[in-house]
Amino acid sequence: MARLYDSRKRILVTGGAGFIGSHLMDRLLEQGHDVICADNLFTGTKRNIDHLHGHPRFEFMRHDVTFPLYVEVDEIYNLACPASPVHYQHDPVQTTKTSVHGAINMLGLAKRLKCKIFQASTSEVYGDPAVHPQPEGYWGNVNPIGPRSCYDEGKRCAETLFFDYHRQHGLEIKVARIFNTYGPRMHHADGRVVSNFIVQALIGEPITLYGDGSQTRSFCYVDDLVEGFIRLMDTGPEVSGPINLGNPAEFTIRELAEKVVAMTGSASELVFRDLPQDDPKQRQPEISLARETLGWTPEIALEAGLERTVAYFRALLPELSA
């Protein structure tokens, strides 16, 4: 049964050593909660959580969510899954297992504990969208057999499982669809445009753009995203989602590259490569539901967030240049 304590909670964060998970844990610890981080360190890194070791309310468990986990907690944030094409395409079968088996295992744990559970879903459930911007009611345009489908369809199946557990077992669920997010602690080799461009600019390599650079993305700074997570988790049982969380300010990939070059003072040139299969041409969240339900809108402009992210990668420059 659910633990009946005061406002201090014991919270499990799967994928907690990852980029977003580590920032989420920082916030939860700041709020006074006890936090268990479960991560197999496939894409997460110990560097992201080094500052938490020795914290009296933090515990790290090296664990793969495709296997059951038995802990006693009050809330679960399920963030475990490789989230960039470079990583999720490395072992696509394992990526699908992480999304599907991981969801089953965490939902089973939440069912046993009668606790609320958060699913970090993704804008990739919309595929290469035929509707722009993308509202939660849009069912998507996903290739189910393409090289990205291990992630896209894995996350779509995870959402199905969450809502079936909600309907069948009365489980309190919170599903967020995350759009492009950036900030300190991104993996330097994750293949995402923000980290790619910054690293290439700092070490003087050409900035690689795919297609003609006219495809668009909407970039949300990680602190804004984590605020959305917390607000969604704090809603009552009547709010399940899915809710889009992302910054609706839209930029072309070429605009982003030019901003990074200017901000870093780099002499890197822009080079163009073929667009990968099924790469979305447009990606922009419709966030009316988040505004109305959570009172949430992103506050950190792209330039401000990029400055912090560039500073992070600049500090890592000796490692990146080695």
Residues belonging to the active site: 151
- Distance, in Å, from the CA atom of 264 to the CA atom of 286, rounded to the nearest integer, reads 31
SS3 content of the chain, % helix, strand, coil (to 5): 40, 20, 40
Question: Do 116 and 5 meet the contact criterion of CB atoms below 8 Å apart?
Answer: no
To which residue do tokens 């990852």 refer? 18
End-to-end CA distance of the chain: 52
Cα-flanking dihedrals φ and ψ of residue 46, to 5°? Answer: -65, -30
- Tokens representing 2 are 């659910």
Question: How distant, in Å, are the alpha carbons of 107, 134, 211, 221, 256 from that of 215?
Answer: 36, 15, 8, 20, 11
Q: Which amino acid is at 34?
A: D
Cα-flanking dihedrals φ and ψ of residue 231, to 5°? Answer: -65, -40
